[in-house]
Amino acid sequence: MKRITNESMFEIISYLEEELKNKNEVLFEVLNPDIKIDIYAGEIIKLENQEFVYRSYKSWTDLAELLFSKLLIVSIKVQTVVIKLQKLNKNDSFHKDLNDEKNEKYGELSTFFRINKNEEPAFLYAYINALKNVKIEEKRNILNLGINKADEFEIIKKLVDEDVLKQMHFIGIDYSSSAIEYSKKRFPQDNFNFYNQDINKLEELNLKKADLIISIGTLQSSGLNFKLLFMDLIQNYLEDKGSIILGFPNCRWINGEMIYGAKAANYSYSEQSVLYKDVYFCKKYLQQKKYRVTLTGKNYLFLTATSIK
């Protein structure tokens, strides 16, 4: 086990990258981040004639994520801690799952279904702010495209008063039949309706216009014409003074970990050009339609738009 004292972060990254090439895990001992507060990364602390470079737990968790590893604390002493980086299995990801007649990539038995975004602060905090931004307590007809197991509705339920919730009408749509059946059981109330439907064929449902449309990580799915679908939603399914919340994934799910950075085809590293191109298209289009648009978030970019007509 390596003891890290006054090595630079450049040296540490080089060392860990080399170790993880042929090992599934690596242990190392570092200065205990709790030993001092009000200190910046890179500053020197001297303990018993030994110089240590200070780094916070956030520095180590960020590094673990960048190296596609899970961070584990093996032991904690007064002056040092022992950290283990456990390499993630990149093949353990819903992105690699099949989606055919026998397999539902996003169904109840899928890897994707195990993901609970509501327990990930990087998602939840930004989503809550997006809901507050559109004044969720004033909305009455909410349409969610790509609802899966209805996690987004669960947060709305927690945010608004019970009497207000009863006045709201929720519609969730998803292509996965098992996910829809799960959502129906999760929200059996009369003001919740779920439909197993291809989003390309929304017109078959004869939906009433919504005053809030939510779609998290769905509109960019393969098989959908992103720009045409987005414009159709604004023109035909959103009330004139309605609002919209779009969540654009800027992360990947690997071995149970949410790893920052959108992954484009033919790139071995995160490349986000397509992501920002789509976000900018939506922002510009909505501004032309007299909407106030905000962009927030990190692992998920949240575009929220409210009418200023």
Confidence label for 98 from pLDDT (cuts 50, 70 and 90): low
Q: Give the Å distances, CA to CA, from 259 to 66, 76, 250.
A: 8, 26, 9
What average pLDDT score do residues 101-109 get?
Answer: 77
Q: Give the Å distances, CA to CA, from 190 to 53, 212, 304.
A: 59, 19, 28
CB 128 within 8 A of CB 190: no
Lowest mean pLDDT among 5-19, 24-38, 90-104, 295-309: 90-104
Q: Which pLDDT value is given to residue 231?
A: 96
What average pLDDT score do residues 46-52 get?
Answer: 92
Q: Half-sphere exposure (CA, 13 Å, Cβ side) for 186? A: 19
Q: Which pLDDT value is given to residue 101?
A: 54
Q: Which pLDDT value is given to residue 161?
A: 96
What average pLDDT score do residues 190-219 get?
Answer: 96
Q: Is the pLDDT of residue 108 over 80?
A: yes
Average pLDDT, the chain: 94
Q: Which pLDDT value is given to residue 227?
A: 94
**Percent of the residues in the chain that have a pLDDT greater than 70, as a whole number:** 97
Q: Which of 225, 223, 81, 208 is CA-nearest to residue 143? A: 208
d(CA 134, CA 209): 17
Tell me which of 205 and 96 has the higher pLDDT.
205
Provide the residue ranges of all domains of the chain, joining segments of one domain with +: 2-87, 95-307
H helices present in 67-105, as ranges: none
Instruction: Write the single-letter amino acid at 205.
Output: L
**Percent of the residues in the chain that have a pLDDT greater than 90, as a whole number:** 84
The domain 95-307 having CATH identifier 2.40.100.10: the answer here is: no
**pTM beyond cutoff 0.95:** no
**φ and ψ of 141, to 5 deg:** -125, 110
Q: Give the Å distances, CA to CA, from 270 to 20, 115, 260, 274, 302.
A: 19, 21, 8, 11, 19
Q: Which pLDDT value is given to residue 202?
A: 95
Confidence label for 185 from pLDDT (cuts 50, 70 and 90): very high
Q: Which pLDDT value is given to residue 22?
A: 92
Q: Name residue, tokens 């929304």.
A: 202
- The pLDDT tens digits for 2-44 are 999 999 999 999 999 999 999 999 999 999 999 988 899 999 9
- The pLDDT tens digits for 244-277 are 999 999 999 999 999 999 887 777 788 999 999 9
